[in-house]
Amino acid sequence: MVQRLARLGLVRSERYRGARLTAAGRSAALQLIRRHRVIESYLVERLGFGWDDVHEEAERLEHAASDDLIARMAEAIGNPTADPHGAPIPTVAGEVDETRLQSIADQPEGVQVTVVRMSDRDPEFLRYLDGMGIRPGATVRVVSRAPFAGPITLEVEGARHAVGTSAAAQVYIRRDRR
């Protein structure tokens, strides 16, 4: 597959060093990401899919949808800048917010944060987070941290929840000014 991508000019492969995207490869990758995230957003916003059910559906549709369909879907939902899981949607020109984010797992006790995004690969994980009110835009306070990678106690909408460190590491945040 890498050799095929290299022949198409999408990757540059060096023996013992691996492969890197070329400018054309990066552009193609960003357009595929755009398609996927616009489809996810459209499925949630217009068709009533749950945010936990759209990833696989978008995987199936992203290769079949035309550029015109993706543009119309994006326009129909107001050209969102992020998908339902908070991941940035690249622009048509291939620009994307690549700000590095910290996770809840990296935060000290007492800090208040706003959830920006989370991993969207596992529907069960999304349902787990949703059950606690953890979604993009949610305000979360780190109440306590157990030692030795123990659970982190979070406060969300007045309720406290113990969350494992590995789960907290998949929820990305912006620190609130306080």
pLDDT at 178 (0 to 100): 54
Which CATH number goes with the domain that contains 111?
A: 2.30.30.90
pLDDT recorded at residue 106: 94
What range defines the domain where residue 128 resides? 102-175
Dmax over Cα atoms in the chain, in whole Å? 56
What pTM value is reported for the model? 0.86
Taking residues 14-20, what's their average pLDDT? 85
Residues 66 and 112 placed together within one structural domain of the fold: no
pLDDT digits (tens, 9 = 90+) for 55-110: 999 999 999 999 999 999 999 999 999 999 999 999 999 999 998 999 999 999 99
Question: Which residues touch 25 (CB under 8 Å, ≥6 apart)?
Answer: 5, 9, 10, 11
Calculate what percentage of the chain has a pLDDT beyond 70. 99
In terms of Cβ atoms closer than 10 Å to its own Cβ (0-12, 13-18, 19+), residue 104 is buried
In a domain, 93, yes or no: no
Query: Is residue 24 domain-shared with residue 61, that is, in the same domain?
Result: yes
Per-residue model confidence (pLDDT) at position 1: 81
* Whether 108 and 157 share a structural domain: yes
Q: How confident is the model at residue 177 (pLDDT cuts 50, 70, 90)?
A: low
Q: What is the pLDDT of residue 171?
A: 97
The CA-atom distances, in angstroms, between 43 and each of 25, 56, 65, 103 are 27, 11, 13, 27
Q: Kindly report the CATH number assigned to the domain that includes residue 63.
A: 1.10.10.10
Side-chain-side CA neighbours of residue 160 (13 Å): 8
The DSSP result for 14-45, as a single string, is ETTTEEEE-HHHHHHHHHHHHHHHHHHHHHHH
Give one word for 173, left, alpha or beta, with left for phi > 0 and alpha for psi -120 to 50.
Answer: beta
The secondary structure of residue 53, as a DSSP letter, is: S
Residues 67 and 109 in one domain: no
Question: Hey, what's the torsion of the CAs at 94, 100, 105, 110, to 10 degrees?
Answer: -120
Q: Where are the alpha helices (DSSP H) in the chain?
A: 2-7, 23-45, 54-61, 67-76, 123-131, 165-168
Kindly state whether residue 94 falls inside one of the protein's structural domains: no
Question: Residue 4's pLDDT is what?
Answer: 86
Q: Please state, rounded to an integer, the average pLDDT across all residues of the chain.
A: 93
Please check whether residue 154 lies inside any domain of the structure: yes
pLDDT in tens, 26-51: 999 999 999 999 999 999 999 999 99
Q: State the total domains in the chain.
A: 2
In a domain, residue 125? The reply is: yes
pLDDT of res. 81: 96
Q: Is 60 helix (H, G, I), strand (E, B) or coil?
A: helix
Q: Is pLDDT of 52 > 90?
A: yes
Decide which of 76, 93, 121 is a domain's last residue.
76
